[in-house]
Structure 1
Amino acid sequence: MELKPKLRRFLSDFLDESKLSLLERCLTLEPRVCVRTNTLKISSKRLVLLLTERGWQLTRVPWFKDAFFVEGATNVGKTPEHLLGYYYTQDGSSLVPPVVLDAKPGERILDLCAAPGSKTTQIAAMMHNEGAIVANDVSSKRCKALQFNLQRCGVINAIVTMMDGRKFHELGITFDRVLVDAPCTGTGKLIGIQGKGVNRQWQFYAGIKLARLQRKLLESAVKCTKKGGVVVYSTCSLDPRENEAVITKVAEKFELELEKIDVPGLKYERGLKAFDGREFVDGIEGSIRIYPWHNQTEGFFVCRMVVKE
């Protein structure tokens, strides 16, 4: 399976031939099936016992102790344990933004683009249902899925709001930490069956259009964050225009300190320092790029920022 020529040429501006070959190989693989224990309802030890009785082989995800790669399973999303909210099916790299956000019990958290709720429910579990989460999305249909997943997982410290994230700061509410898992072109999903669709549908100008939206979302997020608070920006895109370039544009307007991310057990590369003749903001190399070949998961970009006092 090969990348279509236009996409391959674009990616070749920041990936060498060996990495392009690795990416093309990922199109012939499926991402590893991953489930996250919902520790609001059950312990990982108990869940492992239940799932191994089904004949599943579980391997702990190195970068998140309450998640497991699964082999030998079918219909992972249709078991009684899943319906009861004992676990959440979630791509392994999707676990990373909440890990980097590192929300603490008792804090006030905003998940600006929350639906369908994988990261919101993970954050709630990490907070032990203590503190408050505002889970926002712009789509009524997606908010229904978000509400369902929050209820299924027993999350009681979250409220759902439906509004344009670009205007959320107009409410005048500030938070300790804000997650912006922004809508994107999804080029990180160039793996498996879904990757074939991404490969076929990719358009050069989509990244430019979405970058405008992403910048506005991130700007709103920064305005919603208290001084000394944390903002985490993530996408499942490989496109620098949606990632490092967005961070650079916003950092030009606000006093932000970009922090170096370290996630033990996770394979990744550092953020790009330049692209298409433009240098990015100082500190951007502290962000991380997860490519599909690193961990046989979807690709992700993650950046952590502190709003300066």
Structure 2
Amino acid sequence: MASITEIRKKIPQDLLNSFYDIFDIHTVDKILYGISDKKLTTLRVNTLKYDIKSLMDFFKEVNIKFERVKWNENALILKNADERDIEKLNIFKEGQIYLQNLSSMIPPIILDPKEGEKVLDVAAAPGSKTTQMAAMMKNMGFILANEADKIRAERLKYNLKLQGVEIAEVRVGKGEKIGEEYPEFFDKVLLDVPCSGEGIISIKDPKTYRGWSLKEVERLSRLQKKLFESAYKALKKGGIMVYSTCTLNRKENEEIIDWALNNFDIKIMNIDRLDNNFLNGIDIGLSDEVKKCIRVIPNEVYEGFFVCKIKKKD
């Protein structure tokens, strides 16, 4: 593993400075080690086609070692197999399992979509969270899976079909327009927004941070506000929204929530700290309410993430 000094030299200076502006030195060191760690492979069973007991029995037969995840009974952390190994298996090719980082599984768990509900996934491709929610809903209800990019939308359609999802309709178009098309239509909304991706940086892969800039963070923040407004309009009164990103800065996280509190009739809901690797939101100069959000610090099993649970007032 690279030293902290070596890692500091590799990532953009403005990005490093932004970490120190937000976090204490100990937490920054954890983040830097987290983005240099080799990630263990994590996955979940697709309960529309398979079950966790059968999966664990199969892995024992083929000598794949695993660990359970305390907050997700259908997820496993693999100890001696990587994604390429898993992709060779028939259970992967047939959509019985889904390779997905644990952090990506958190927003649907927090949203908790139920059978029969109408759910909006604003930025759905490649379909990790859409397929997870469809399984949680037991293929009963309705999911509008939106994707702005036509090529990514095709990948989304492929994954939905492979995973046996029958309740999702793919909409190809700007998420900013959904609120006008579906006013107060959805019981729940997953708003996993496009972001600067600081939480999924890998020091070994420069393309994961080469495009990062303060200017790009500003651009994305403006887009996130537009998507939030659209999602809010599409959500029924009394409905639940989960806002999430795979980035670490305040501009795309707490500051979006603080802005939303000042502009919409919402309240922030408490989230159980699913794991001791999760931090509360940071409220420096912002509403105390943002402390109810959670941050996930990257390590060998988690990508960096931010999650906030929101209720639209009646």
What TM-score range do you get, normalising by the shorter chain? over 0.9
- Name the % identity: 36
Distance 1:134 1:266 in 2: 33
Q: Is the 8 A contact 2:113 2:137 kept in 1?
A: yes
Q: Choose the corresponding residue for 1:89, options 96, 99, 102.
A: 99
Counterpart secondary structure, 2:157: helix
Q: Which amino acid aligns with 2:118?
A: R
Distance 1:30 1:104 in 2: 35
Distance 1:126 1:190 in 2: 29
| Mapped pair 1:186 → 2:193 | no
**Alpha-carbon distance, 1:60 to partner:** 0.9
Q: Is the 8 A contact 2:243 2:307 kept in 1?
A: yes
Counterpart secondary structure, 2:30: helix
| Mapped pair 1:80 → 2:90 | yes
| Mapped pair 1:49 → 2:57 | yes
Distance 2:76 2:233 in 1: 36
Q: Is the 8 A contact 1:31 1:192 kept in 2?
A: no
| Mapped pair 1:308 → 2:309 | no
Q: Which runs of 5+ in 1 are unaligned?
A: none
**Residues 110-259 of structure 1: pairs in structure 2 closer than 5 A:** 110-173=120-183, 174-191=185-202, 193-194=204-205, 196-259=206-269
**Alpha-carbon distance, 1:266 to partner:** 5.5
- Count of aligned residue pairs for this structure pair: 303
**Alpha-carbon distance, 1:192 to partner:** 5.6
Distance 2:249 2:35 in 1: 18
Alignment root-mean-square deviation, CA = 1.5
Which is further off, 13-22 or 136-145? 13-22
Distance 1:204 1:192 in 2: 19
Q: Which runs of 5+ in 2 are unaligned?
A: 1-5
Distance 1:180 1:78 in 2: 32
Q: Which amino acid aligns with 1:189?
A: I
Query: What whole-Å deviation, never above 9, does each CA across 1:35-62 have from its counterpart, x for those lacking one?
Result: 1000000111011122232221111122
Distance 1:92 1:266 in 2: 14
Distance 1:215 1:69 in 2: 34
Q: Is the 8 A contact 2:248 2:306 kept in 1?
A: yes
Q: Is the 8 A contact 2:22 2:249 kept in 1?
A: no
Distance 1:141 1:215 in 2: 24
Report the counterpart of residue 107 of structure 1 in structure 2. Answer: 117
Distance 1:167 1:130 in 2: 26
Query: What whole-Å deviation, never above 9, does each CA across 1:121-147 have from its counterpart, x for those lacking one?
Result: 000111111111111110111111111
Normalising by structure 1, we get a TM-score of: 0.94
Normalising by structure 2, we get a TM-score of: 0.92
Counterpart secondary structure, 2:78: strand
Counterpart secondary structure, 1:241: coil
Relative to structure 1, is the Cα distance of residues 50 and 192 closer, same or farther in structure 2, using a 3 angstrom cutoff? farther
**Alpha-carbon distance, 1:244 to partner:** 0.8
Q: Choose the corresponding residue for 2:25, options 17, 41, 47.
A: 17
Q: Choose the corresponding residue for 1:271, options 281, 286, 297.
A: 281
**Alpha-carbon distance, 1:235 to partner:** 0.3
Which is further off, 73-82 or 99-108? 73-82
Relative to structure 1, is the Cα distance of residues 14 and 117 closer, same or farther in structure 2, using a 3 angstrom cutoff? same
**Alpha-carbon distance, 1:263 to partner:** 4.1
Report the counterpart of residue 3 of structure 2 in structure 1. Answer: none
| Mapped pair 1:288 → 2:294 | yes
Distance 2:273 2:23 in 1: 23
